[in-house]
Amino acid sequence: MIENIFIGLVFLGAVAYLVNTVRKQFSPKSSGCASCAGNCQVGKIENPI
């Protein structure tokens, strides 16, 4: 009986981990150049010639 409870808890933990990973992968990112509407400061590449 205790073994079944332990296995169930491990299984639920694994499912929660997978759901959290998938949720983070598909959630919109709030930082980065794609979200700052042209106000990003990107370093200029100078011509070495």
- pTM for this predicted structure: 0.53
Confidence at residue 12, expressed as pLDDT on a 0 to 100 scale: 98
Confidence at residue 27, expressed as pLDDT on a 0 to 100 scale: 84
Structure confidence by residue, pLDDT tens digits, 15-48: 999 999 999 998 877 655 555 555 555 566 676 6
Q: How confident is the model at residue 2 (pLDDT cuts 50, 70, 90)?
A: very high
Closest CA to 31 of 43, 20, 39: 39
Q: How far apart are CA 27 and CA 19, in angstroms?
A: 12
Mark 9-18 as b/e (b = at least 16 C-beta within 10 Å): eeeeeeeeee
